[in-house]
C-alpha cells in the first residue's frame, strides 16, 4: 500500500523520526529503509536494539500512527495507479489492499486517495505475522477467492517482495522507496505504474 498507491515514505519517516527521537531512540534514513514495510511490533525492538515492553510498543505505535493519519489530507495517488485500478476493474479482476499497516491507516488512505471503490477487500494481518511472512497475502487471496498462483502483487519493499514470492504469487516492484538493484527478486521492476505495460502484465502468466 505505502509506496505503491501513494508515496507516503516521507510522511512515515517524519512521523517515526519525531516520536522516536522524543523517546531517545536514534533514527535516520538508513534505518528507515531497513524497517520500511515491517509491522511496528517487529521494527521497534530492532530500532531500539533491546527488548521492549509490549505496552510501550502499543503506546508509541499509537502516537506514530495517529500523527501519520493526520498528515494524509492532500495526498495524491502515484502516477499510473488510478489508470491501472480502472483497467483491472474493467478486466473483472478482483483487487485487494494487503498491508502490514494498521487497519485505520488503510481505511484512511484509500478514502483520501478516492480509490476505495476499486477494491474488493482491505486486508491487514491482525495477529498474523507481518511481511516477509506471506500470511497477509494468503489472507487476501482467500478473501477475494483467487488462488495464489493467479495473484499479482505490486510492492515497493524488500519484505513485501519476499512475502509475495513465498506466497507463490507473481510480483511487480515499483522503485518508489528502493532503488531497482535491490528489487531484482521481483518478476518485473518499473519506476512507476505509469511505465507498466499490458504486455508485461500478460507475460506473468
Regarding whether 152 and 108 lie in a shared domain, the answer is yes
pLDDT digits (tens, 9 = 90+) for 23-76: 888 877 777 777 776 778 888 888 777 888 889 989 999 999 999 999 999 999
pLDDT of residue 165: 98
- Return d(Cα 6, Cα 191) in angstroms, integer: 13
Provide the residue range defining the domain that includes 161: 81-202
Render pLDDT for 77-88 as a digit per residue (tens, 0 to 9): 999 999 999 999
My answer on whether 193 and 137 are in the same domain is yes
Are 148 and 197 in a shared domain? yes
45 within domain boundaries: yes
Q: Render pLDDT for 167-183 as a digit per residue (tens, 0 to 9).
A: 999 999 999 988 999 99
Q: What tens digit of pLDDT does each residue of 128-149 get?
A: 888 899 999 999 999 999 999 9
Burial class from Cβ neighbours inside 10 Å (0-12, 13-18, 19+) for residue 29 reads: exposed
User: What are the tens digits of pLDDT across the range 90-123?
Assistant: 999 999 999 988 899 999 999 999 999 999 999 9
Residue 192, number of CB atoms within 10 A of its CB: 14
What's 72's DSSP letter? Answer: -
Alpha carbon 181 to its chain centroid, in Å, reads: 19
Asked, for residue 51, whether it belongs to a domain, the answer is yes
**Which helix (H) or strand (E) covers residue 42, if one does?**
helix 40-48
Whether residue 34 is found in the same domain as residue 108:
no
Amino acid at each position: 500500500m505505502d509506496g505503491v498507491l501513494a508515496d507516503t515514505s516521507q510522511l512515515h519517516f517524519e512521523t517515526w523520526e519525531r516520536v522516536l527521537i522524543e523517546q531517545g531512540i536514534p533514527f535516520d534514513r538508513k534505518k528507515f529503509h531497513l524497517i520500511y514495510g515491517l509491522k511496528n511490533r517487529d521494527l521497534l525492538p530492532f530500532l531500539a536494539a533491546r527488548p521492549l515492553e509490549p505496552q510501550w510498543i502499543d503506546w508509541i505505535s499509537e502516537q506514530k500512527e495517529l500523527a501519520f493519519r493526520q498528515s494524509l489530507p492532500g495526498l495524491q495517488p502515484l502516477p499510473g495507479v488510478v489508470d491501472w485500478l480502472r483497467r483491472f476493474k474493467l478486466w473483472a479482476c478482483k483487487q485487494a489492499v494487503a498491508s502490514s499497516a494498521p487497519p485505520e491507516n488503510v481505511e484512511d488512505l484509500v478514502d483520501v486517495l478516492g480509490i476505495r471503490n476499486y477494491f474488493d477487500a482491505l486486508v491487514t494481518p491482525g495477529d498474523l505475522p507481518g511481511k516477509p511472512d506471506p500470511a497477509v497475502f494468503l489472507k487476501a487471496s482467500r478473501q477475494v477467492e483467487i488462488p495464489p498462483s493467479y495473484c499479482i502483487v505490486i510492492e515497493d519493499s524488500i519484505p513485501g517482495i519476499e512475502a509475495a514470492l513465498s506466497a507463490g504469487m507473481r510480483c511487480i516492484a515499483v522503485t518508489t522507496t528502493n532503488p531497482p538493484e535491490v528489487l531484482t527478486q521481483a518478476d518485473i521492476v518499473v519506476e512507476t505504474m505509469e511505465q507498466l505495460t499490458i504486455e508485461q502484465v500478460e507475460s506473468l502468466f
